[in-house]
Each structure stands twice: as C-alpha cells, then as structure tokens.
Amino acid sequence: MNTAGVPPEGYKSVGDIVATHTLQFDSQVDGESIAMEILTNHIAVVPVVDTDGYLEGVVGELEILKALQEGKDLTQMKAKDLMKKEKPIHVTDSTPISDALKILQSEHMPIVPVVEDERVIKSITRHDLIRAMSGAGLGVETH
C-alpha cells in the first residue's frame, strides 16, 4: 500500500523528508516579529540566517522568554541579539534519518536545520521524524 508523500522504498535520509517547517529569520528581523511568527506557527525554534541564507544561529521560545524576563523590549531587539550565539548543529540532505534523530535527542532540540552549501534549505522537526519513521504520509495530521 502506498501512502501519500512516502517514497515506495521508505524514508532513508533527511533529503527524503518533505519538511513541515520552512520558516527562518534574517538576523535583522525584530524580536516582536519573531515572537508573533513563533506563536502563530506553533514552532519552538527557528534558524537565523544572514542576508545570503547562511546559518548564523537559532532563536526560539526560550530566548524570547529570557529577554522578556529581563525586561527587554522585543521591538528593539533583532534576531542576532536574541539567538543562541553558538552555531547550531545542522545536517544535510544526505544525513541518515537515524543520525538526525540522535542529534535531536542529544542536543534536546525540537528542530535541526538542513543546509546545502552552508545555506539553510529547510528544518527537520521531531514531528517530521515521527511522520517519516512511522511511514505516515503528508496530510496525516489533518485526519
């Protein structure tokens, strides 16, 4: 039985997965815009890229909460101010799904950016891995 969105041979690598998370922020986007996008898209963490799409870091709910707790004005902050300063671990399309899962587990991250030539092309979420590893196709979330 073929399931919509699932390759006949099954999922093998990150490149086989159609990501449900394509959001990313330019490093100059203001913090309030980031907070609103995270809230409306129900996404915990998002890659931050420079103007050429190169991965610079990630920003998420925890960084926004920390800034708010410190009394900072999100309208006056940029993604580059909010993001974690260390460059996040990332994968490529050829990374085996099992390796992507190990990274998400060991880093306690809800996403892992996927890069090609150092540029972010998508992010793989734990949600995407559940869909891939269970053999569920795209659109299963609406059933």
The whole domain housing 124 covers 14-136
Closest CA to 57 of 135, 120, 132, 125: 120
CA distance 20 to 123: 8
The two three-digit tokens of residue 104, written as one number: 């998400």
Q: The whole model's pTM is what?
A: 0.83
Between the CA of residue 134 and those of 10, 12, 14, 85, 96, what are the distances in Å?
10, 12, 14, 34, 15
> Residue 68 domain-assigned?
yes
> Residue 32 domain-assigned?
yes
Per-residue pLDDT tens over the stretch 43-71: 899 999 999 999 999 999 999 999 999 99
Which amino acid would we find at residue 103?
Answer: I
> Residue 65 domain-assigned?
yes
Q: DSSP class of residue 87?
A: P
* Number of structural domains in the chain: 1
> Residue 119 domain-assigned?
yes
Q: Does the pLDDT of residue 116 top 90, yes or no? A: yes
Across the range 105-132, mean pLDDT stands at 91
> Residue 3 domain-assigned?
no
Q: Please report which confidence band the pLDDT of residue 6 belongs to, taking 50, 70 and 90 as the band edges.
A: low
> Residue 130 domain-assigned?
yes
CATH number at residue 20: 3.10.580.10
Residue 137 has what pLDDT? 61
> Residue 5 domain-assigned?
no
Per-residue pLDDT tens over the stretch 35-50: 999 999 888 999 999 9
The rounded mean pLDDT for the chain is 88
Closest CA to 56 of 33, 26, 14: 26
- 29 or 22, higher pLDDT: 29
> Residue 24 domain-assigned?
yes
